[in-house]
Amino acid sequence: MKQDPEKRRPTGASDINDPERKAMITREREDEILALCQELIRIPSYSGDEKGVGQAIASFMERMGFDDIWTDTYGNVVGGVKGSRPGKTILFDGHIDTVPVKSEDWTRDPFGGERADGRIYGRGTSDMKGAVAAMLAACAYFAADRKRDFAGAAYVSCIVHEECFEGVAAREVSRRLKPDYVVIGEASELNLKKGQRGRAEIVLETFGKPAHSANPDAGINAVYRMSRLIDAVRTLPETTHPVLGKGILELTDIKSAPYPGASVVPDYCRATYDRRLLVGETRESVLKPLQDLIARLEAADPTFKARVSFAKGEETCYTGAAISGERFFPGWVYDEDHPWVATALAGLRRAGLNPTVTQYSFCTNGSHYAGEAGIPTIGFGPSRENLAHTIDEYVEETQLIGAASGYYGILTEALCK
Ligand SMILES: [Zn+2]
């Protein structure tokens, strides 16, 4: 999850004592879901170090009789339950990496999985091991209750390295599984999300000529070049979308070289921009206005030299595999009457929930499933998005149980016609 300023939504939770929900999620099962969440929290899993939590998830899948379990080259753990009749494949997707903690800032043990005041505390409770626990449990209970009497299959993908590479490791899951529908479990406070802005990291570079700073006329200062370019970028109009809002372009860092530049006119400067992407924006359409801007500045001043590109990242997975990608994660949004949105909404209501239909304000693996692969996708998960990445992160137990019954309701609605 990438954080954006949180817009508080009304809660989608309905009465926890709703009779239909009670029939699906018994008291015993509630305890099992909470215990699984605690177990996952007690195994730290920073990005690139998810092996232990992946193993715990695989053994839960085995214990619960999942029909198909694998770990792929990146270390994603995927498992599914299959119905006795052919039908659609639904994928529940959650990431199992977390952002780091500074333990000394916490009043609770970030890896204790402590239960108090109707909450479970710990890094990843809201973002998003709680959701993963609820998904795993819902699929297991659904298959057991139906004795496999349903059409199609339900899978859970537990994804590594999401925090910096939204949707990159997920590509391997959709390549192998080819799901028909996806549910992203990122925090939605039990509301239904039908889209999100995407994001890109754009790098601007300017080039100059080094010189002793006692004699600056002999050089070309790359920072002065960058300063002109930054001013020009601020005059570009923002793209807009009626649902997703503005295609924000915001400067996030700047660096010159050599650094420190003791008595040297810097010959290189690099600035990074965060760009929020709207539906339909492509690599080309995003770079074009910046390329045109640079061309105009170069035409006006033949010594001006600059370049624009997307940032690239590369990290190593716990399996040893390299994960890399351009930081360009597309946005996506569906109409409220899209069949998958309508099915999911009916499933959530079946589970006794009363969700509002909105969109995520941050970037998720949906960038890949919906934005790149074109697979109908919705978001539904426990907890509030502004609890992600926080000190003393927690998830409310009622949200966890509500999420499990919501996933169960979606399965019933989608696979039991
Ligand atoms: Zn997340």
Q: In this model, does residue 12 exceed pLDDT 80?
A: no
Residues near 334 by Cβ (< 8 Å), separated by ≥ 6? Answer: 194, 195, 340, 341, 370, 376, 378
Q: Class of the 198-314 domain?
A: alpha beta
Domain ranges of the chain: 19-197+331-415, 198-314
CATH number of the domain located at residue range(s) 19-197+331-415 in this protein: 3.40.630.10
Ligand 1 center to 268 CA (angstroms): 35
Ligand 1 center to 160 CA (angstroms): 11
Site of tokens 């992160």: 393
Tell the burial category of 5 from Cβ atoms under 10 Å away from its Cβ (0-12, 13-18, 19+): exposed
Among 15-29, 133-147, 234-248, 368-382, where is mean pLDDT lowest? 15-29
What are 304-324's pLDDT values in tens digits?
999 999 999 999 999 999 999
218's torsion region: left (phi>0), alpha (psi -120 to 50) or beta? alpha
How crowded is residue 103: how many other Cβ atoms within 10 Å of its Cβ? 12
Ligand 1 center to 385 CA (angstroms): 9
Q: In this model, does residue 199 exceed pLDDT 90?
A: yes
Ligand 1 center to 49 CA (angstroms): 16
Cross-strand pairs, 193? 358, 379
What are 290-305's pLDDT values in tens digits?
999 999 999 999 999 9
Q: Given pLDDT bands bounded at 50, 70 and 90, which one contains residue 165? A: confident
Query: Quick check: do 19-197+331-415 and 198-314 share a fold?
Result: no
Ligand 1 center to 280 CA (angstroms): 23
Tokens of 15: 């009465």
- Which helix H or strand E contains 206, and what residues bound it? strand 198-207
- DSSP H helical ranges for 164-212: 170-177
Q: Percent of the chain at pLDDT above 70?
A: 94
Ligand 1 center to 169 CA (angstroms): 14
**Distance separating alpha carbons of residues 199 and 6, to the nearest angstrom:** 17
Ligand 1 center to 97 CA (angstroms): 8
**Distance separating alpha carbons of residues 177 and 157, to the nearest angstrom:** 10
Ligand 1 center to 364 CA (angstroms): 7
Buried b (16+ CB within 10 A) or exposed e, 213-244: eeeeeebbbbbebbeebbeebeeeeebebeeb
Ligand 1 center to 309 CA (angstroms): 26
The predicted pLDDT at position 242 comes to 92
The predicted pLDDT at position 95 comes to 97
**Distance separating alpha carbons of residues 402 and 408, to the nearest angstrom:** 10
Ligand 1 center to 265 CA (angstroms): 42
**Distance separating alpha carbons of residues 246 and 237, to the nearest angstrom:** 10
Ligand 1 ion: nearby residues, β-carbon < 5 Å: 1, 127-128
Ligand 1 center to 269 CA (angstroms): 32
- Cα dihedral sign, 115-120-123-129: positive
What are 80-133's pLDDT values in tens digits?
999 999 999 999 999 999 999 998 999 999 999 999 999 999 999 999 999 999
What are 215-241's pLDDT values in tens digits?
999 999 999 999 999 999 999 999 999
The predicted pLDDT at position 385 comes to 87
